[in-house]
Amino acid sequence: MTQKKHALLLFSKPPVPGLVKTRLTRERGGILTEAQAAEFFTRSLYDVTELCMHALIEMQAQQDAASEAGHEAEQISYDFFVSTTPAQNVEVMKKTFDAIGPWPMEIHYLTDQGKTFDDHFDDAFAQLFALGYESVVSVGGDIPTMPKTHVSQAFAWLDYFQGLGTPGFVQAPCQECGTSLVGYSFNTPIDHQSVYYNLEGKAALDSYVEKLAAADIPSAYLSPVSDIDEASDLAHAISCIRAIAQAAKTQPGLFVPQRVLDWVNFMGLRISTPPNENHDPRGSIDQ
């Protein structure tokens, strides 16, 4: 029986006040203190980690059951990695995760390096491929509303493309022409150069699309997931999380980012919108 392993990569800074989610802070026109922004990100990091681990554990169980039943010719495993920079921040990340451990899966740690974000992203992927991982799916720590199925679908699509003999790519956009999930296989002819560190004003999503088209790389598109950078992003996420929590009472399989929700409730955050004075004149239309 052949063996194949996949990696889920959480690419993140450590949740230190003044280092993360600064656009949510009052110093940058937001509504939170630096400590509050870091606390929000810590809770989001925990929720995203748990969400991803739940997805990986479910996938592993399905693979193990298929292997035991003799339906699979391959033994497949999934591992969870956190990549951060510089090297001394690895210990900070370990302490962050250990603070509420133990976790249902082992957390492996990487230090990514480079001059630009693109270099750091390439380096993290390259390290995992060098360790023998066939495919890597990466997410950020600020997407607590990501559906759990995004993780399983991402790996399924990469397996599908490999089975066709045409290594592929998978991505889910965020709300601002960027990405919330990116994944590809060790032999997919693509990298992150000029995607996030782009001096021509090109959006990350468009940069990936151009690379895919130029190299004729098959790709899969997952539904957009909003990350949280601005106060408006946070407001949108809060409304979505409350809707997820309500729907989870009757809709099986939903993951509720409970730590973020508990923080929102503790903070007493409420979403409001100004009265819409530019409403459609339905009364006159009906008449």
pLDDT of residue 201: 87
The token pair at 236 is 């949108």
Tell me the β-bridge partners of 107. 80
pLDDT class for 75, splitting at 50, 70, 90?
confident
- 77: region left, alpha or beta (phi > 0 left; psi from -120 to 50 alpha): beta
pLDDT of residue 284: 61
- Average pLDDT (232-237) is 95
Task: Answer yes or no: are the C-beta atoms of 137 and 183 closer than 8 Å.
Answer: yes
Provide the residue ranges of all domains of the chain, joining segments of one domain with +: 2-228
Question: Residue 72 above 80 pLDDT?
Answer: no
- 280: region left, alpha or beta (phi > 0 left; psi from -120 to 50 alpha): beta
pTM of the model: 0.93
Architecture per CATH, domain 2-228, reads as Alpha-Beta Complex (3.90)
- Average pLDDT (89-94) is 96
pLDDT of residue 98: 97
pLDDT of residue 287: 58
Burial (0-12, 13-18, 19+ Cβ within 10 Å), 213 = exposed
The per-residue pLDDT of the chain, averaged, comes to 93
Quote the Cα angle for 120-137-90, to 5°: 45
Those residues whose C-beta lies under 8 Å from the C-beta of residue 143, and which sit 6 or more positions away, are: 44, 48, 174, 180, 181, 225, 226, 227, 228
CA distances from 106 to 78, 79, 146 (A): 11, 8, 21
Question: Residue 182 above 90 pLDDT?
Answer: yes
Q: Is 189 helix (H, G, I), strand (E, B) or coil?
A: coil
pLDDT of residue 1: 60
pLDDT of residue 69: 80
DSSP 5-48: EEEEEEE-----TTTS-GGGBGGGTSSB-HHHHHHHHHHHHHHH
Q: Which residue has the tokens 């990936």?
A: 208
- Average pLDDT (264-272) is 93
Among the residue ranges 64-73, 90-99, 143-152, the one predicted with the least confidence is: 64-73
Q: Which residue has the tokens 């940069």?
A: 207
- Average pLDDT (116-141) is 97
Question: Residue 168 above 80 pLDDT?
Answer: yes
Question: Residue 52 above 70 pLDDT?
Answer: yes
